[in-house]
């Protein structure tokens, strides 16, 4: 089973707040893959809004996104796109 990972920078102004965490969790639930976000040695299941919010990821922080499973590559690409799009927040 392939495990992939990529390091991303949180660029949206509010970081991983409720709306961004919800978008990320909903995206991750679509895939047949386990998605984990790591920040400062803390890990969160990316399909859990609460777990993501507990990471307290603010703007400028670096996170490591890991995916594992059937859709690992597609999941990683879409999660990276969500970060690149600043969680579709028009700041």
Q: What was the pLDDT predicted at 68?
A: 97
- At 4, give phi and psi (nearest 5°): -120, 155
Tell me the pLDDT tens digit for each residue of 20-29: 999 999 999 9
For the chain, give the secondary structure using H, E and C. Answer: CCEEEEEEECCCCCCCCHHHHHHHHHHHHCCCEEEEEEECCEEEECCCHHHHHHCCCCCCCEEEEEEEECCHHHHHHHHHHHHHCHHHCCC
Tell me the pLDDT tens digit for each residue of 4-22: 999 999 999 999 999 999 9
Query: What's this model's pTM, rounded to 2 decimal places?
Result: 0.94
Q: What was the pLDDT predicted at 90?
A: 74
pLDDT surpasses 70 at 86: yes
State which residues form the domain around 11: 3-88
CATH at 74: 3.30.1340.10
| Residues assigned a catalytic role | 17
Tell me the pLDDT tens digit for each residue of 28-68: 999 999 999 999 999 999 999 999 999 999 999 999 999 99
State how many domains the chain has: 1
């Amino acid at each position: 089973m392939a495990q992939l990972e990529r390091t991303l920078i949180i660029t949206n102004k509010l970081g991983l707040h409720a709306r961004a965490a919800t978008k990320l969790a909903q995206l991750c639930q679509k895939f047949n893959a386990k998605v984990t976000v790591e920040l400062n040695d803390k890990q969160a299941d990316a399909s859990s809004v609460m777990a993501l919010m507990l990471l307290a990821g603010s703007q400028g922080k670096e996170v490591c996104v890991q995916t594992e499973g059937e859709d690992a590559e597609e999941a990683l690409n879409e999660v990276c796109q969500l970060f690149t799009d600043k969680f579709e927040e028009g700041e």
